A and B are shown apart, each in its own frame.
Chain A
């Protein structure tokens, strides 16, 4: 066991654990937006830890460059997908107001329609 092996042996299971917990959230969270959170963030951390773990097993730093590229794609894709899905979910009325503490977007939309601005639904 070299030092690199130890690093891999720690990073990979921890990363997989992050992914797994995120996916359990994907199964158990009640609303679409919360599932979006669970699916994206811990999963990103997980895959990046796993990629870092794999990078330590490669012969040289140059061959690890595509791993960095994959991590970069992940950084780009997560916000893009999250934003698109969040917008679609909201416009379809799937934001589940009973699980929201505040919904300032709804207030803003109401104001924009020129209706009487009501009290924000807190509690």
Chain B
């Protein structure tokens, strides 16, 4: 069994990143959708196919986990330790990208 390092999951897509940062507290599927829509100010609306696909894949990758098994029809998810590392790393990557490109981008003049 190969060891999973958080780096191998980077970069994350826009959608995946939003889903992960919504899962710092336990949420069920519909809760994730609402949270993501709210955080992105309505820009990111998750379709159910996308959400289900993301949840089942992220759970398989052990980036997220169900908080409790059985019973409830709506399962709640939360970031795992690996998931937390993935989010942190992705965030540093994005931040770094912004930092190193700042001067260049600011020097670009766009004609009106």
Are A and B genuine complex partners?
no
Residues of A within 8 A of B (CB): none
